[in-house]
Structure 1
Amino acid sequence: MSDTFQNNNREAENLAKELKRKGIRDERVLAAIAKVPRHSFIDESLRELAYIDKPLPIEKGQTISQPYTVAYQTELLKLQPGEKVLEIGTGSGYQAAILCEMGAEVYSIERYHELHLTSKKALNKLGYYPKLFFGDGFEGLPEYAPFDKILVTAAPDEIPEKLLRQLRIGGWMVVPVGGRMGQKMTVIKRVSEEKFSESEYGDFIFVPMQKGTEE
């Protein structure tokens, strides 16, 4: 094992320990954080910041989320191995890697074509092969529905109705809902064909969720 690999691994493990101190309790989430090399999903110029618990800029004015936020959202999913998960907003690919590491069957949509391509390259290089799509996250992937869980990594002003319809009964969606000034992390469970329950879990800041696609 190379010194570089050991050093990267140690940094990821230390990040997982920090997140545990900050309140993340799901050991499988923490194990995934400790394993996935976050530096592989950012520009080389930001390498020294890769394992600090802060969001970082990526292409197209987007960000790779703060590790605590990634862990928090993933913990709310209560993910089980083999579950079919739809991620809205592939972004850098880091969140998709965490979901893959935890054994999910991952479907992920990205509206920016350039990010779609670079995230695929980064994920595949690490041996993660989620099903990646270039498209409008508001539309979801109805042809692949229903999903056990849906994770939204950008903030819509309101809960996207089309995504709710792509949940299986008994499944749930984790989504930060609200305007540019801040959002409430929200969990919506599909109780029956027409009934949904909703609960909120704190305040966060995400980039806005936008309709359509950009080449």
Structure 2
Amino acid sequence: MTPPSDWAHLPFFAKDLPRIEAALAGDARQILPPAPQVFAALDACPPKRVRAVILGQDPYPTPGHAHGLAFSVEPEVRPLPRSLNNIYKELQEEFGACPPNGDLRFWAAQGVLLLNTALTVPAGSAGAHAKLGWSKLTAQVLETLSQTPRAFILWGNHAQGFAPHIRGADHLILRSAHPSPLSARRGFFGSRPFSRVNEWLIARGDTPINWTTPEAP
């Protein structure tokens, strides 16, 4: 796994990644996403380009779904994962539209960092790498991004547990229930996270994010 060049200065890559790579090499199970996509979220969003952060938990454990961006799936995946389906319901409520498929790479292209707090998972074993050490990278990324005002979307207790790593003032920090079917009706639906990020960006003189419609190639 090649560290993303724009993030390679983080201590994690020298101190922690070798141990994680050794653990993965010794695991006979299929590891998701494929190795070249493990750092896809960071590859897509160098620090200077990040405008908003959405924290996920770990990659989808179904082969062919995860491609390195939290909540996102390859465009041919049907049906959508249930959390992503609920995210799209909220988008539909906010904007009257949602993306045509589950591929959120067009969000990343606009500076939305879709970062899972664990970057790998064994196929069929959700959460199995939660304690592998990836969370140290999450903490360091958040601390780096805290240096200038940004929007942070923290869904659920797991993501909100990383809030202490967001330092400094003038950030937009949105906390609500997770969009999973177990909790979406306890505060995710109706929370308007996407509109609120755009309102914050516009108030700062920045361009709002197009959350619903990928640009035509």
Larger strand share, 1 or 2: 1
Q: State the TM bucket, normalised to the shorter chain.
A: 0.3 to 0.5
Structure with bigger RCO (C-alpha 8 Å, 6+ apart): 2
TM-score scaled by length of structure 1: 0.34
- TM-score, normalising length from structure 2? 0.34
